[in-house]
Structure 1
Amino acid sequence: MSQRPWREIFCPEELAGRPIFIVLPGGGYHRQADHEGAPVAHWLNSLGLNAMVLHYAVAPDYPGKALHPAPLNDAQETLRWLRSGESGLEIDAERIGVLGFSAGGHLAAALSTGAGSTPTADRPELAVLAYPVISLVSHCHQGSVNALLGPEATWEQRRALSAELTVDTDTPPTFLWHTADDDAVPVENSLDYAAALARHHVPFELHVFPHGHHGLGLALDEGEAGRHPAAEWTSRCAAWLSGQGWRTTA
């Protein structure tokens, strides 16, 4: 494995000139979940969209130190790299989205809302957040807090990186989904973020499925009952992307 950060590119020739999504896998800022990386990029390709999995910095890369702001820096630098044209990739550099899962969803939200004083020019055009960690002060995932800021983080430090408190009118249109009984990252994270988007008149779509454990990813293989009901998120997201004018495939 390459040293983080590193970028895994999924830009087939037939998608030249199409938009691209930066995929941010979850893992509590301790690791990155494989099933939330390459399989998701391939799914985006099937929708006629380019993809890049960003393997951003995680806590083991900074032993004995607070991880923040390394992951946010990684995401910001990657967005600038894609938008500048320096990547050499044949993409639509004016349509760059971000798709994050769990702690990767927190990073995607931080990038989208301007946490860390992110200029508007350094934000994506669309965001997709899957069972995201949003708040570091309420209904929070303590493991992500500890990894990102350390166990002794102050309330002020936690508040500054609570994405429901940093939403503004420049936050991009957002698609969110969660499960109501997620016992790792409570559904209130998505509910509070959606409420913040509504207050700032940012377009969004939110889906809450009744059941499902944390970390479902594409939710394609879930036991004897077959396809998990939450797997419907992919078709709903695809329809949302069509509504945004980002898809050319049926």
Structure 2
Amino acid sequence: MKIQILVMSLFLSNAAIAQQEEVKLWDVVPGSITNDSFKEEKQYEGDQIRGYNKVSEPTLTIFTPEDGTSNGTAVVICPGGGYSHLAINKEGYKLGAWFAEQGITGFVLKNRLPSDAIMQDKTIGPLQDVQRAIRYVRENALKFGIDTTKVGVMGFSAGGHLAVTASTLYEEAVYDSKEGVSAKPDFSMLIYPVVSMKKGVTHQGSRDNLLGKNPDEATVTKYSGEEQVTAATPKTFLIHATDDKAVPVENSIHYYLALKNAGVPVEMHIYEDGGHGFGMGRSATADSWPAALSLWLKKHSLITN
């Protein structure tokens, strides 16, 4: 598949990464509806892009390690935002830069957000994009020095739900794949994720945006990650805060138990405080999670030093 390459400069608060490569995911977006009034919106914090709304052209922004430091691992990063917007700086670009410092190539996904205005089936639109992103990484493994058996996915909040969906529904044929490579992640990292679509546990806004106001029970079950775990589900690292008022900690707990019961390697850290949407940290006990993640990555030989 031919991909148009763009070039952009990103100026981040913790790391200045210039001339990062941004690529379009699709020549023709599958299942799309042409809507000239649907225009992408950007949010800024100072001169930095903070987030996006109304994405219709999905992209990957690629953060590459310095020459000679790549360890062959890659991560597709899915920012959160309730399936209504993308918090792409704090839950995307900052992680891409952090991974690059660890020798990991980071691919920040700017995925479409479920919308009847631009999608024939909004429940599969984001999954189409994340599957295509994972396949793009494997297709271009030689170019980026990536080991095709070390391609992971990371997600925050609703982006965590997208990462869970990628990790459990990777065999779903949501578009006509011609790449000839797998969409299955080799590992997943889920940070305060929405996992379940079940009432009383889910984040209602994420559920409404993805599935609509009155989804049937079969659809709710299909998109509840804890119900889709098998022994083949990728090994997983989970982070959540007990005092999360937006996405109940039970999302991570239920997924952890499902993985444990299926014999899937899993590690979970539940912190006393942190709330929701803490990104890489904001003065709470949850701020130590990046260090815990580094140890987990080393344990599984995804970081080699």
Per the normalisation by structure 2, the TM-score is 0.74
Q: Could you list the per-position Cα deviations for residues 110-169 of structure 1 after superposition, in whole angstroms to 9, with x for gaps in the alignment?
A: 111126737994211110000000000140111001111111212221111000000111
Q: Could you list the per-position Cα deviations for residues 185-219 of structure 1 after superposition, in whole angstroms to 9, with x for gaps in the alignment?
A: 00000000000001100000000001122100101
Equivalents in 2 of 1:143, 1:115: separation in Å?
Answer: 24
Amino acid at match of 2:214: E
Amino acid at match of 2:193: P
Q: Which residue of 2 aligns with 1:117?
A: 172
Question: Percent of counterpart pairs with the same letter?
Answer: 35
| 5+ residue gaps, structure 1 | none
Q: Which residue of 2 aligns with 1:183?
A: 245
1:42 aligns with 2:97: yes
CA change 1:203–1:88 in 2 (3 A) is: same
Q: Could you list the per-position Cα deviations for residues 41-89 of structure 1 after superposition, in whole angstroms to 9, with x for gaps in the alignment?
A: 1111122211010011103584697521010011111111211237843
Amino acid at match of 1:125: D
Question: Which stretch shows the higher mean deviation, 148-157 or 83-92?
Answer: 83-92
1:77 aligns with 2:132: yes
1:22 aligns with 2:66: no
Equivalents in 1 of 2:173, 2:239: separation in Å?
Answer: 24
Check the 8 A contact 1:66/1:148 in 2, yes or no.
no
Equivalents in 2 of 1:88, 1:48: separation in Å?
Answer: 15
Check the 8 A contact 2:154/2:160 in 1, yes or no.
yes
Equivalents in 1 of 2:268, 2:85: separation in Å?
Answer: 27
Q: Which residue of 2 aligns with 1:166?
A: 228
The CA RMSD measured in Å over matched residues stands at 2.3
Check the 8 A contact 1:114/1:167 in 2, yes or no.
no
Check the 8 A contact 1:66/1:150 in 2, yes or no.
no
Q: Per-residue deviation at 1:11?
A: 1.3
Q: Which residue of 1 aligns with 2:285?
A: 229
Equivalents in 1 of 2:78, 2:143: separation in Å?
Answer: 21
Partner-residue secondary structure (3-state), 1:21? strand
Partner-residue secondary structure (3-state), 2:147? strand
Matches within 5 A, 1:190-201: 190-201=252-263
Equivalents in 1 of 2:118, 2:246: separation in Å?
Answer: 24
1:216 aligns with 2:278: yes
CA change 1:52–1:43 in 2 (3 A) is: same
Amino acid at match of 2:109: L
Check the 8 A contact 2:194/2:251 in 1, yes or no.
yes
Partner-residue secondary structure (3-state), 2:73? strand
Matches within 5 A, 1:65-144: 67-85=122-140, 88-114=143-169, 117=172, 121-138=182-199, 139-144=201-206
Q: Per-residue deviation at 1:16?
A: 4.3
Check the 8 A contact 1:173/1:204 in 2, yes or no.
yes
Amino acid at match of 1:137: K
Partner-residue secondary structure (3-state), 1:205? strand
Bigger Rg, which one: 2
Check the 8 A contact 2:141/2:147 in 1, yes or no.
no
Matches within 5 A, 1:142-161: 142-161=204-223
Equivalents in 2 of 1:196, 1:159: separation in Å?
Answer: 14
Equivalents in 2 of 1:215, 1:57: separation in Å?
Answer: 20
